[in-house]
Amino acid sequence: MNEQTTTLDATQKLHFYQKGTFTVGNRLVSDERRAVQASTDRSNALTCGHRACQGCGEALGARYAMDAAMRATGGNVIAVNATGCLEVFTTPYPETSWQTPWLHSLFGNAAAVATGVAAAMRVKGRSEVRAIAQGGDGGTTDIGFGCLSGMFERNDDVLYICYDNEGYMNTGVQRSSATPPGARTATTPAMGPEPGNVFGTGKSVPKIAVAHGIPYVATATVADLHDLERKVMRAMGIHGARYLQIHVPCPLGWGSASHDTIRLARLAVECGLFPLFEAEHGVVTSSQKIRRRVPVDDYLKPQRRFAHLFSTEEGRERIGRLQGLADRNIAEYHLLEAEGDA
């Protein structure tokens, strides 16, 4: 049986896999080629009974990332959490959904707290225990940005994971600096001369992270588990400051169907609005190619936060500008190039 498996794996090098290449697992591939999530002994770092909304992308992304980190470190992970949805829905007294050691301090200090954890582990001679900070986009790109940048420039041994759902969802869907242009939020209503979030605002924290020259920066999505896990594994194999931004759709905040969470994450990548890339020491080293390119309309349409764009001529123009952003990403990160030999 083992021999046969080996043969089959060898075959895959000649003819890449059809069924199961992108699925979580597959009976025909060896365990190493299956996602951590395929395993019955995955950590379930974030376990059942949490109070996330139905179809929560963040709950999914957090389990994906933490389980991969647990696998990569043999379970030696301490997680620090910024205030936000993830914190609130996982740890309402008297229940916690976390199975790893976990600490919530404040909204804007997760990176610094994780620095402290890493320092403590080093001083205790337990450097094998790794610190991971996690937060939403509000806690990362806005209020936690100072601490994040500080952790980066000191090159502290922390992996910071931003679960990017493009707004302040915990407080009722307000705009953050990660909210995309055109999106309606409670603080960027679909009213007035420029309805929704204003074009030309916002920032790319992954790019800013790259500018810090830290050892590793990557973006990932809940729609591509293998890619996500690979990046977490890679990150955990490196010491120093690392940043991973995971795109996690929010059915509540985006006005999308709960079952569309992964589909939307996928469409965000495939239309080019959320480029998947990796960078090391300040240089972008790879990007995940778009497999089936779609126009941004396909991604925007299932989300009520963009519904106003589809009803007017001006809105159509703005969709065009969003397409422009997608096109720019595609060009900048070479998202359509033929795949290399890797």
Partner 1 sequence: MEHPFAISLDVGSSLANLTGSWRTSRPVYVDRLPPCNNACPAGENIQSWLYYAESGDYESAWRTLTIDNPLPAVMGRVCYHPCEGACNRAQVDEAVGINSVERFLGDVAIRNGWRFEPPQADSGKRVLVVGAGPSGLSAAYHLRRMGHAVEIQEAGPFAGGMMRFGIPKYRLPRDVLDAEINRIIDLGVVMKLDTKVDRIVESMREGGFDAAFLAVGAHIGKRSFIPAGSASKILDAVSLLRSMEGEDQPLLGRRVVVYGGGNTAIDAARTAKRLGATEAIIVYRRTRDRMPAHDFEVEEALQEGIMMKWLSTIKRMDEGTLTVEKMRLDESGFPQPTGEFETLETDALVLALGQDVDLSLLDGVPGLEIKDGVVTVAPNMMTGHAGIFAGGDMVPSERTVTVAVGHGKKAARHIDAWLRGDAYAPAERHELAGIDKLNTWYYADAPKTVRPMLEIARRQSTFEEVQGGLDETNALYEARRCLSCGNCFECDNCYGVCPDNAVIKLGPGQRFQFNYDYCKGCGVCAQECPCGAIAMVPEEI
Partner 2 sequence: MLKQIEGSRAMAEAIGLCRPEVICAYPITPQTHIVEGLGEMARTGEIKNCEFINVESEFAALSVAIGASAAGARAYTATASQGLLYMAEAVYNASGLGLPIVMTLGNRAIGAPINIWNDHSDAMAVCDSGWMQLFAETNQEAADLHIQAFRLAEELSMPVMVCVDGFILTHAVEQVDIPEQADVDAYLPSYEPVQVLDPKDPISIGAMVGPDAFTEVRYLQHYKQTLALRLIPEYAADFKSRFGRDSGGLLRSYRADDAELIVVAMGSVNGTIKDTIDEMRADGLSVGLVTLVSFRPFPTEALREKLVRARNVVVIEKSLAVGMGGPLANNVDLALRNVAGAPQVHSVIAGLGGRPITRTSLHRVLRRALVQPWEGSHFLDLNEEIVAKELHYVRKVRRSGPTAENLLRRLGQAADEAAVKTAV
Q: Which residues bind partner 2 (CB under 8 A)?
A: 75-78, 80-81, 87-88, 90-94, 96, 98-106, 108-109, 112-124, 129, 131, 146-147, 149-150, 153-154, 156
End-to-end Cα separation, the chain, in angstroms? 28
- Residue 25's binding partner among partner 1, partner 2, none (Cβ under 5 to 8 angstroms by kind) is partner 1
Q: How far is the CB of 106 from partner 1 (least distance, A)?
A: 14
Q: For residue 111, with 0-12 CB atoms within 10 Å meaning exposed, 13-18 middle and 19 or more buried, which class applies?
A: buried
- Residue 80's binding partner among partner 2, partner 1, none (Cβ under 5 to 8 angstroms by kind) is partner 2
Nearer to partner 2, 58 or 278 (CB): 58
Binding mask 101-120 for partner 1 (x = CB under 8 A): -x------------------
Distance between CA atoms of 225 and 99, rounded to whole angstroms?
21
Sheet strands (E) in 237-332:
242-247, 277-280, 283-287
The answer to whether 305 and 255 have CB atoms below 8 angstroms apart is: yes
Name the CA radius of gyration of the chain, rounded.
20
Applying CB under 8 A, among 207, 239, 263, 293 the residue interacting with partner 1 is 263
Applying CB under 8 A, among 259, 281, 304, 328 the residue interacting with partner 1 is 259
Burial 219-248 (b: 16+ CB within 10 A, else e): bbbbbbbbbbbbbbebbbeeeebbbbbbbb
DSSP assignment letter at 141: I
Applying CB under 8 A, among 127, 258, 285, 312 the residue interacting with partner 1 is 258
Cα 30 to the chain's mean position, in Å?
Answer: 26
Distance between CA atoms of 79 and 110, rounded to whole angstroms?
9
CA distances from 167 to 29, 51, 136 (A): 38, 19, 8
| Amino acid letter, residue 276 | L
Binding mask 42-71 for partner 1 (x = CB under 8 A): --x-xxxxxxx-xxxx-xx--x--------
Sheet strands (E) in 144-256:
158-164, 216-221, 242-247
Nearer to partner 1, 6 or 311 (CB): 6
Q: How far is the CB of 106 from partner 2 (least distance, A)?
A: 5
Token pair in block for residue 317: 């123009």
- Residue 26's binding partner among partner 1, partner 2, none (Cβ under 5 to 8 angstroms by kind) is partner 1
Phi, psi of 168 (to 5 degrees): -85, 90
Task: Please identify, among the stretches 31-39, 117-125, 203-211, 273-281, the one whose residues bind partner 1 according to the rule CB under 8 A.
Answer: 31-39
- Residue 13's binding partner among partner 2, partner 1, none (Cβ under 5 to 8 angstroms by kind) is none
Q: How far is the CB of 260 from partner 1 (least distance, A)?
A: 7
Torsion sign, CA atoms 330, 153, 58, 18: positive
Distance between CA atoms of 33 and 156, rounded to whole angstroms?
31
Q: How far is the CB of 138 from partner 2 (least distance, A)?
A: 15
- By the rule CB under 8 A, 15 interacts with partner 1: yes
Nearer to partner 2, 23 or 100 (CB): 100
- Residue 150's binding partner among partner 1, partner 2, none (Cβ under 5 to 8 angstroms by kind) is partner 2
Phi, psi of 284 (to 5 degrees): -70, 125
Task: Please identify, among the stretches 98-106, 114-122, 146-154, 173-181, the one whose residues bind partner 1 according to the rule CB under 8 A.
Answer: 98-106
> Rule CB under 8 A: which residues touch partner 1?
4, 7-8, 11, 14-28, 34-35, 37-38, 40, 44, 46-52, 54-57, 59-60, 63, 90-91, 93-100, 102, 225, 251, 257-263, 266, 291-292
